[in-house]
Amino acid sequence: MLKNIRNFSIIAHIDHGKSTLADRMLEITGTIEKRKMQEQVLDSMELERERGITIKMTPVRMNYTLNAERYTLNLIDTPGHIDFSYEVSRSLKAVEGAILLVDATQGVQAQTLTTLQMAKEVGIVILPVISKIDSPLARVDEVRLELAKLLDCNESQVLSVSGKTGEGVEGLLKAVVERVPPPIEEYPSTDSFRGLVFDFQYSNHTGVIVYVRVFDGEVTKKDTLYLTAVKEKFTPIEVGIFTPDQVQVEKLSKGETGYIVTGIKRPGIASVGDTITIAKKPLPALPGYMTPKPVVWASIYPENQSIGGGKTGGDDWNLLRQALERLRLSDSSFTFEEESSGVLGRGFRCGFLGMLHLEIITERLRREFGLKLIITTPSIRYEVLDTRKKMSAIYSPALFPEYGFVEKVFEPWVSIRIITPPEYIGAILKSLYEHEAEVGETGNWSAHRTQLDATMPLRELMRCFFDELKSISSGFASLSYFILPGNREANVVRLDVLVADEIVPAFTRIVSERRVEEESKKAVEKLHDILPKQLFTIKIQAKAMGRIIASRAISALKKDVAGYLSGGDRSRKMKLWKQQKEGKKRLKSRGTVDIPQDVFVKMMQSD
């Protein structure tokens, strides 16, 4: 019955105990037997388990009995890191309620506010819950007051749980039944079907598997279905539910969450936010989702483009293309397109939601497809007005116009929110100044918690600001951000690195004009330390604003060509030394430097 269905998500800041709480819910409801339980049971990806974070949202159905009445609880566990906020926003449109989880040892964090705002915009019911109450560092009363103030509710409405011991979880399940409303029937008497696609995955055998929330009617594998956005008809191979494993069922009914195996193997057909309905009796499309826009760009090249690497052999470029297409089928938030470099060969320019997203995708390419990769320095999208009054979008530093051909440059800015103990405010303000931030309002959450708002260029946020913030605050500060609309004028320049008087495009970057000297010296010194010696002297230079900013030279390999001569006429040795000198001079004039792949990798890595 529809009145006995509850759809809800768990939303929180990273590492506040979402996955552990989900484990206890699965255990208490008997969804998974105790002997089969393991930590982070909903985090099926190897990287999720290693890092202790959720990367992909995971749906699961639980059965719960309260007062002799049986309820179906559809839970969607969501990521906590800010790079995956898009996953959270999608899950919230498939539910009627959300558990807002806050760590009793840390209190309200910056990302807590971001996820709360998403939930409020969707208009779902919010259940405030404090986690990790079993910790000796727990500040339950203080955090309860913070949550009550944040949600403008009574302190008695804030629940307390321990995902580790299970304390309070039974009461939370009861509260979900009592406070989260059942799904609403928009078309109560319809004999059609309508569902919203909130995620999908790809199978080699069965094609695209879409995750749907059913809003109206019911669907079986005998129905001919219709994807409204792409106007594509198909007959399902299977329909089912998540327990959390995929389990086939006869039908999916309104209010339920499940999956549909489409059998479609062509890319670009399934999309998040599309509406599935019955082909013969279509219902109006549901409001979908905003398409996520990449904010970080990096180029990916295979180390070997001719002889097979990877797990299956063959051309690594083709393997990389196939791997990117495969990941794109399960992660609609990143993009890629072909490009080529004279030094690195053929590769792909990829767009990501943030630095962690970039790291996760490249690590999956290495692990799941056995590829050895070169990743260029991440960049952002610039709008460049050149001297011909032509505006261009620049994603790659190597394509940025040279000095003297640029009229104006515009770049995206972000609004950031930092929550920190007050004793770190001084160091954080200094760091914000170094990253060209404009500091806004400050406020106090409590005697131990201060909120600081600011705006800064996205370019500077990417320049290791998050790591720096964690370092100077001893890990106690938290950060959330969102991209501001429009772009602002930027005072940036293109920095080229030359090896033997030739520009190496992979080392080119866009830097702030006020830091160009510092960045030039750093790049030259780093390359000087890692580039192997050659048979002739190598000159390394950093060039910006039409001039050489920094320069170093790597001395040539030395060999005593006259070492086999002993005694006798010294003129014979001098003749050999002169020939060696002239040979090195000729080699230098027409020789090129072969830069090993590991040098590219080391140059891309942050110090």
Look at residue 535 in the predicted model and tell me its pLDDT: 67
274 marked as binding residue: no
- pLDDT (tens digit per residue) in 350-359: 888 877 788 7
What is the pLDDT confidence band of residue 48, given thresholds at 50, 70 and 90? very low
Which helix (H) or strand (E) covers residue 252, if one does? strand 252-253
17 marked as binding residue: yes
Domains 296-375 and 382-489 share a fold: yes
Look at residue 413 in the predicted model and tell me its pLDDT: 94
> Which residues on neighbouring strands pair with residue 456, listed in sequence order?
414
133 marked as binding residue: yes
Query: Mean pLDDT: which of 342-346, 440-444, 450-454 is highest?
Result: 450-454
Q: Which amino acid is at 114?
A: T
| % of the chain with per-residue pLDDT over 90 | 29
Q: Which long-range contacts (CB under 8 A, 24 or more apart) does 119-126 make?
A: 119/11, 119/92, 122/92, 122/93, 124/92, 124/95, 124/96, 124/97, 124/98, 125/96, 125/97, 125/98, 125/179, 125/180, 125/181, 126/97, 126/98, 126/100, 126/151
Residue 82 has pLDDT above 80, yes or no: no
CATH of domain 296-375: 3.30.70.870
- Give the whole-angstrom CA distance, residue 553 versus residue 551: 7
- Does the domain formed by 382-489 have CATH 1.10.1200.10? no
- Give the whole-angstrom CA distance, residue 477 versus residue 445: 13
Look at residue 111 in the predicted model and tell me its pLDDT: 77
CATH class entry, domain 193-278: mainly beta
CA nearest to 55, candidates 64, 47, 65 = 47
Residue whose token pair is 């830069």 = 595
Look at residue 35 in the predicted model and tell me its pLDDT: 55
- Range name among 240-249, 254-263, 340-349, 534-543 with the lowest pLDDT average: 340-349
Query: Stretch 490-514: mean pLDDT, rounded?
Result: 88
Give me the sheet containing 69-77, strands edge to edge.
58-66, 69-77, 5-12, 97-103, 125-131, 159-160
Give me the chain's average pLDDT, please. 82
134 marked as binding residue: yes
Q: Which two tokens stand for residue 237?
A: 């191979």
174 marked as binding residue: no
Q: Which residues contact 438 (CB under 8 A, 6 or more apart)?
A: 454, 455, 456
- Give the whole-angstrom CA distance, residue 534 versus residue 594: 9
CA nearest to 215, candidates 192, 244, 237 = 192
What is the pLDDT confidence band of residue 563, given thresholds at 50, 70 and 90? low
Using a 10 angstrom Cβ sphere, with 0-12 exposed, 13-18 middle and 19 or more buried, the burial of residue 266 is exposed
- Range name among 161-170, 311-320, 505-514, 589-598 with the lowest pLDDT average: 589-598
448 marked as binding residue: no
Q: Which two tokens stand for residue 305?
A: 């483009």
Q: Percent helix, strand, coil in the chain (nearest 5)?
A: 30, 35, 35
- pLDDT (tens digit per residue) in 508-519: 889 999 999 999
> Which residues on neighbouring strands pair with residue 512, listed in sequence order?
492
Look at residue 264 in the predicted model and tell me its pLDDT: 86
Look at residue 251 in the predicted model and tell me its pLDDT: 92
- pLDDT (tens digit per residue) in 572-585: 667 666 665 666 55
What is the pLDDT confidence band of residue 93, given thresholds at 50, 70 and 90? confident
Look at residue 342 in the predicted model and tell me its pLDDT: 64
Residue 189 has pLDDT above 70, yes or no: no
Look at residue 307 in the predicted model and tell me its pLDDT: 42
Look at residue 198 in the predicted model and tell me its pLDDT: 82
| Homologous superfamily in CATH for domain 2-179 | P-loop containing nucleotide triphosphate hydrolases (3.40.50.300)
Output the CA torsion sign for 513, 517, 523, 526: negative
Look at residue 558 in the predicted model and tell me its pLDDT: 61
- Tell me if the bond preceding 244 is cis, omega within 30° of 0: yes
- Range name among 72-76, 528-532, 573-577 with the lowest pLDDT average: 573-577
| Homologous superfamily in CATH for domain 493-604 | Elongation factor 4, C-terminal domain (3.30.70.2570)
607 marked as binding residue: no
- pLDDT (tens digit per residue) in 365-385: 888 888 888 887 788 899 999
Look at residue 310 in the predicted model and tell me its pLDDT: 44
Look at residue 187 in the predicted model and tell me its pLDDT: 64
* Domains in the chain: boundaries: 2-179, 193-278, 296-375, 382-489, 493-604
Higher-confidence position of 313 and 284: 284
* DSSP single-letter state for residue 158: -
**Residues 297 and 269: beta-carbon distance below 8 Å:** no
Look at residue 361 in the predicted model and tell me its pLDDT: 85
What's the residue count for the chain?
607
20 marked as binding residue: yes
Query: Mean pLDDT: which of 171-180, 416-425, 462-471 is highest?
Result: 171-180
CA nearest to 3, candidates 60, 57, 66 = 66
Q: Which amino acid is at 122?
A: V
Q: Which two tokens stand for residue 556?
A: 């040539």
